[in-house]
Structures are given as C-alpha cells and as structure tokens.
Structure 1
Amino acid sequence: MNQPITLRQLRYVVAVADTRHFGRAATACHISQPSLSAQVQALEEMLGGPLFERSKRRIILTPLGEAIVARARRILAETQDLLLAARDQAAPLAGDFRLGVIPTLGPYLLPRLMQALRRTYPDLRLYLREDLTDRLVERLRRGELEAALLALPADDPKLESLAVFDEPFLLAVPTGHRLARANRVTPGDLSGEHLLLLEDGHCLRDQALEVCRSAARTETDTFGATSLSTLREMVAGRIGITLLPALACTAPTTADGDIAVRPFDAPVPSRRIGLVWRRGAARRGEIEMLAEFLRQHLPEGAVPIAREDAPDLSELAVGKAAAG
C-alpha cells in the first residue's frame, strides 16, 4: 500500500453503504459521481478487493466491504469527536449539536425549552432528529448524533446515559366514561377496558402494557396508532382508553373537549427520561450541561431528578461570556 487511506475516501464509502447508490452518495457528499466512484475504486485497489457488488438494480456490500464500512464509521466518529473536543475547550455548548428525541416526547417538551435554550447558549445550533428508539440508538452508535433523549434504561454497552426527569402517566378516557368520575385511578380499575396502543417500535407501547399488565383488553394484532395525537382522537371517538405521558396531556388538540384525563393513585406509574450518548464521546461535559439545563427548565408535569454533582449553569454561562 503505497498511498495512505484518506478520511474523504472513508466518507465516500460510508455514503455508498448508507444510500446503496453511487449517484445518491455523490449528491450527499456534494461531488460528482465519477469523482466519488474513482475514489472508491482507488480505495478498493489499496485494500486488494471489491467493497461493493455493483449491478444496475442495487449495490450490495461484500464481506470485505462490511468490515471496512464498520471500521470507517468508527474512524469517522473518532475524528469528529477529536474536533468537537477541541471546540468544547473553546466554548461549551456552542456550534452544531445533533440531538435525537423520541416522538412521544419531542413535540411536547422541546418547543417549551427552545427560547430559554437560545438565551442561555446563543452560539448553539441545535439540530433535532425525531425517530423511534431503535433507530436513534443506531445513529448514536454510528456517531450521527451527539446525544438522544430516550426513555431509560438504554441497555447497550456502547452507550452511556444520564437520568434527567420522571414523567408520570395519566389515564385518558372519553367524557362520560365511568372512570371520568374518579379523582384517581389504579391499574386494577382498567379491568375489561379496551386499551389503545401505539404501533410496534414505540417504547411507550411496551410501557403501557407493563403498567396495565392483564387488567385491560388490548388488540395488539389489529391496530396501532402512529402518534399520541391519534390515540387522543381515538379516545374521543369512544373506541377505547389509553395512557398518556404527562407532558402530552397539556398540549391542546381538537379532542380536548371529548376526553377526560385522570391521574393514577400511588405508586404513580411513570417513565424515566434521560440523555444517552456514545461511550467515550468527547462532548460528555456538554451533554451533562444540557441535562442540567433541562432539569432547571422542565415544564409542569415532569419531575426533575436531582444530581448533586451537576454543573452550576450560571457559573458556566459567566465563564463562557468572559472567554468570548
């Protein structure tokens, strides 16, 4: 191997692996397709074998390609961490920050925080990615996100997490329903009721099933809603009842006049929300700062989880201003 492998070549190979198309990969990398193809071919010659099986219909990774792409992702992620570590020393929580968030949380939490976040960290450019947990975890592993707001635990040895707050569950029933007259409910009160659920892939689906266990009837093989808003509309249509996270219950919808929301009796069922990131990531200090910011600015309904060694945001903000 007479020539060194370049980061540019690794980025091109990963782009082809992600898109399974040389043309789309070239567009994503902002270069011409012949230039990208030439760089990939040069890398294949250096490595002594093809990375892709090429045909008119599809691109398939060879065994060598699978191994090289996996290593390329790690190298590119480490390189990004190196750049971010240097930037973090200059100004914490500044520049681009890619944050993932699950769809049962993002629309109900983040809009209430963005104004305060911009005031506290005016140099931060926050890019949000809303997706299901499994896909966000995969993006974290690949270095495509700095962190993600997920329901804990995140059982992955390659990831670390920090609990931020607990979010209680509330019961949503149609107005006039027998449980609408109760001040508080228990999981046992749901006996015989039709529990509406989100579709497979949403962690909230499994959490709702765990809370209700065998008390309520579910039709797990028929219909699964794609969003909490859909669940609320179905409850308003008297199709069944559902569990909603507390923050989602304060967002106005057209169904509000047709549903009643009731709290659970102690012990109140809830989910724990935390920030998750790749183990060894360079921006861990910034992620901890973001976690503390969230704790201090949570809307009503969320219960912050105190952390004795959390950074003092006022001191950090003053220090940043002095550095600038």
Structure 2
Amino acid sequence: MILPTLRQLQFLVALGETGSFSRAAEACHVTQPTLSAGIKELEDLFGVSLAERESRGATLTHAGEIAVARASALLADAHALVQSVTSAGALFSGSFQLGAIPTIAPFVLPQIVGLLTRQYPDLKLYLTEDRTQRLIDQLRARTLDAAFIALPWEAPGIEVMTLFDDEFLLAAPAGHPLSRKNGLSPDDLEDQDLLLLEDGHCLREHSLSACRLKPGPGREQVAATSLGTLVNMVAGGLGVSLIPRLAADHGLPIGSDVAIRPFVTPVIGRQIGIAWKAGSPREAEARRIGEIVSAEFASRRAAAE
C-alpha cells in the first residue's frame, strides 16, 4: 500500500485552512504548481476528488474535509514526535520559526533575539516578517511556530497571549497647530488629513477604531506602505498620523520636522500579543517568548518613567 507523505498532507491542510491554492502555497513556502501537483497526487492516491477548483479559490469536497481532519491530527502527532525527540524535554533546543508583523518586527525582534540566544544557546531562531493574515495562515500550516501580532484580531484555531498595551501618539508636522495644542484628544483629528498605512495593514484599522474615525475620501487617496514612509509623509506636510509608542520609543527614525505628542487621555490603540496554533507542541516555548518580551518591555518602560 502506498501511503501519502507528510508534505502532501501539509499541502492539503493548508488548502483547507486558506481556501486558496495561492495562499496555501505561500503558507507552505512552495510555488503554486508544486502545491497543486501535491494535491493531485493525493487525489490519484485516494481515487477521489479532494477540492473543487474555482475562479476565486478552492472548496473542499466531503472527502477532502474528512481527509483534512485526519491529516491535521497526523501532522500534529508528527510535530509532537519531532519536538519531543529533538528537545528531550528541554525548551528551545532545536529550531524555532518566529514571525512578526511589520509594525512590530523592527521594534521587538532585535531586542529579544539576543535575550533568547543567550538563555538558550542551542536555539536556532528563524525570523519571518509578514502581514497578519499571512502569518496566521503559516501558523495554521505549521510552517511558523509562533508570531507577534497586534490585537484585537479574530482567528479561529489560533491561541494568543497578550503581552502589553501599545499607546497611540499623534505625529504632526513641526509647527502644526496640533503640535502645540493643550489637552489633545482624538476629536481633534476629525477635520484633519489623517495619513494611514495602506489597506491590508492591521494598524490602519486599529488607528481608525481607536479614534472612532471612518475612512473618508481624503484618507483613501494617500496611504503609506510602512511606518517609516508614514513619518516621512508627515514631515512633508501631507497631514497628521498616529504612531504606536512601541515604534516611537524603539527605533523608528523621527526627525525634528515631526512632532510626537501624547493625547491627554492615553489612547490604547492596540495590544501586542504572541500567537500560536491551538494544540501546537511549541505552545510552552511560545509562552516563554511572550514572558521574556513582556518582562523586557515592562522594565524598559519603568526605566523611562
């Protein structure tokens, strides 16, 4: 009897979780033709169709749903087997795949890499930076062990440990009226040209939600691809923006032509958390990373006060 390979099963589970051949291929770090070929090999092996290919994605057949459920359990067992054998009960004795979104990665990862590698010298840490949904897809496909994301973010099958609150600060051109206003509040942004990250970045939605603002025509015309670009747009006088304190305090280059101001009542725009797939054998390590990050940033903020 010919049995399916774990890689083929991983392809199928990723397809079931993403509903898309292209996104499943991204989550598995392979090309779409490679993933499609793997699914076709499974279908030939089982003698049934596992997925219906559609113009906007893919839908599992009944047989495909049964196969995904069993394959997920097999993959979980395989990961647990590898982890238990390689680690022999010790945390971080092998490789660990850690992801982070772009508005967190530059300000968290450099601080913790050194801490982790000093505490766990046998650890081989691999880092990935991507948008939230892509990181979630990779967690589900088990190509990532854990990822730093911004909360709130709903993702079935994903568990999260909240680490700390991240306050939003106003970024305005130097000399802008709001840069000198006492008692600054989110209401002061209502009639301003508010610069945001482009659609698809969770910071965009968190910014609008935190200040109870709605996207308007002016806010749709100009959008940045990164926090650095956003600051440069503010410096150029194109408008004002909201910057996470995490970024402002930990390496985001902000020149003298940009004023950073807190609101009189702190605006907690998001929470920083670490996420992993429910039932993951790496949960203990993900939680340990979360504890290290939480303690490190709590001490840094205490020292700054």
Which TM bucket (shorter chain)?
0.7 to 0.9
Instruction: Summarize the alignment of residues 139-154 of structure 1 with structure 2, pairs less than 5 Å apart.
Output: 139-154=138-153
**Partner letter of residue 76 of structure 1?**
L
- Give the structure 1 partner of residue 205 of structure 2: 206
- Indicate the SS of the match to 1:92: coil
Following superposition, the deviation at residue 292 of structure 1 comes to 1.0
Deviation readout 1:195-223 (Å, 9 max, x if unpaired) = 10111111111111112224996634322
Deviation readout 1:266-318 (Å, 9 max, x if unpaired) = 24323111111111111221122111111222277768xxxxxxxxxxxxxxx
- Give the structure 2 partner of residue 279 of structure 1: 278
Following superposition, the deviation at residue 228 of structure 1 comes to 0.5
- Indicate the SS of the match to 2:127: strand
Verify the 8 A CA contact 1:161 1:275 in the aligned structure 2.
Answer: yes
Residues 219 and 125 (structure 1), Cα distance of their counterparts in 2 relative to 1, 3 Å cut:
farther
- Give the structure 2 partner of residue 29 of structure 1: none
Alpha-carbon distance in structure 2 between the residues aligned to 1:226 and 1:300? 31
1:270 and 2:269 equivalent?
yes
Residues 252 and 155 (structure 1), Cα distance of their counterparts in 2 relative to 1, 3 Å cut:
closer
Identity %: 40
Following superposition, the deviation at residue 74 of structure 1 comes to 5.4
Verify the 8 A CA contact 1:275 1:287 in the aligned structure 2.
Answer: yes
**Partner letter of residue 33 of structure 2?**
H
Residues 122 and 44 (structure 1), Cα distance of their counterparts in 2 relative to 1, 3 Å cut:
same
- Give the structure 2 partner of residue 194 of structure 1: 193
Alpha-carbon distance in structure 1 between the residues aligned to 2:7 and 2:155? 30
- Give the structure 1 partner of residue 90 of structure 2: 91
> Which of the pair has more CA radius of gyration?
1
Deviation readout 1:88-125 (Å, 9 max, x if unpaired) = 44310221111121111111221122222221121111
- Give the structure 1 partner of residue 256 of structure 2: 257
Q: What is the root-mean-square deviation in Å for CA atoms of aligned residues?
A: 3.4
Is there any run of 5+ residues in structure 1 with no aligned partner, and where? 27-35, 55-59, 304-324
TM-score of the pair, normalised by structure 2: 0.79
Alpha-carbon distance in structure 1 between the residues aligned to 2:252 and 2:14? 41
Alpha-carbon distance in structure 2 between the residues aligned to 1:53 and 1:216? 37
- Indicate the SS of the match to 1:288: helix
Verify the 8 A CA contact 1:136 1:148 in the aligned structure 2.
Answer: yes
**Partner letter of residue 196 of structure 2?**
L
- Give the structure 2 partner of residue 310 of structure 1: none
Alpha-carbon distance in structure 2 between the residues aligned to 1:104 and 1:218? 25
Verify the 8 A CA contact 1:196 1:224 in the aligned structure 2.
Answer: yes
- Give the structure 2 partner of residue 20 of structure 1: 32
Alpha-carbon distance in structure 2 between the residues aligned to 1:154 and 1:112? 24
- Give the structure 2 partner of residue 307 of structure 1: none
**Partner letter of residue 278 of structure 2?**
R
**Partner letter of residue 197 of structure 1?**
L
- Indicate the SS of the match to 2:297: coil
- Give the structure 1 partner of residue 81 of structure 2: 82
- Indicate the SS of the match to 1:256: coil
Following superposition, the deviation at residue 154 of structure 1 comes to 3.4
Is there any run of 5+ residues in structure 2 with no aligned partner, and where? 16-20, 26-30
Alpha-carbon distance in structure 1 between the residues aligned to 2:267 and 2:10? 48
Residues 205 and 301 (structure 1), Cα distance of their counterparts in 2 relative to 1, 3 Å cut:
farther
**Partner letter of residue 32 of structure 2?**
R
Alpha-carbon distance in structure 1 between the residues aligned to 2:228 and 2:274? 24
**Partner letter of residue 257 of structure 1?**
S
Verify the 8 A CA contact 1:140 1:147 in the aligned structure 2.
Answer: yes
Instruction: Summarize the alignment of residues 1-324 of structure 1 with structure 2, pairs less than 5 Å apart.
Output: 2-7=1-6, 9-10=8-9, 18=25, 19-22=31-34, 41=41, 43-49=42-48, 63=61, 67=65, 70-71=68-69, 72=71, 75-182=74-181, 185-214=184-213, 219-250=218-249, 251-253=251-253, 256-298=255-297
